[in-house]
Amino acid sequence: MKFEVEKTVVIAKSRKLDVTWTIEEPHIVRMLGLDTLKENAELNLKRTVSGPLLIDQGWTEVYIGAKWRNITDEWCRQNLKGQYSCMGTYWFFENKEDAAWFMLRWS
């Protein structure tokens, strides 16, 4: 895993310093929590863009908090009838019954 952080520091009106740090050691990335930070940022962006579109199409949004990492694809295949989309702590369901069943099990 490679994680890059870019930072721009302005030194004076006519000068600036651009710095990019690259961490390529997976254990350091995990130790610093950067992998989780990157994943959460991606999920938040996906929810911000896709979530409202799904809701406009009649899908149901469910917030479940940190438990979302415990939910397996196997459980979803066995228990859900319609389409669903996981966006981290927010889940979206095409079928309202699926959303209700999901909330009962995971909230």
Q: Are strands 60-63 and 15-23 parallel, antiparallel or unpaired?
A: unpaired
Q: Which two tokens stand for residue 103?
A: 């909330």
Residue 83 scores a pLDDT above 90? yes
Percent of the residues in the chain that have a pLDDT greater than 90, as a whole number: 25
DSSP line for 27-95: HHHHHHTHHHHHHHHHHHHHHHHHHHHHHHTT-EEEE-GGGGGG--HHHHHHH--S-EEEETTEEEESS
In this structure, are residues 62 and 91 in contact, taking their beta carbons and an 8 Å threshold?
yes
In this structure, are residues 94 and 67 in contact, taking their beta carbons and an 8 Å threshold?
no
42-80 tens-digit pLDDT: 666 677 777 888 888 899 999 887 677 788 888 999 999
20: left (phi over 0), alpha (psi -120 to 50) or beta: beta
pTM above 0.75, yes or no: no
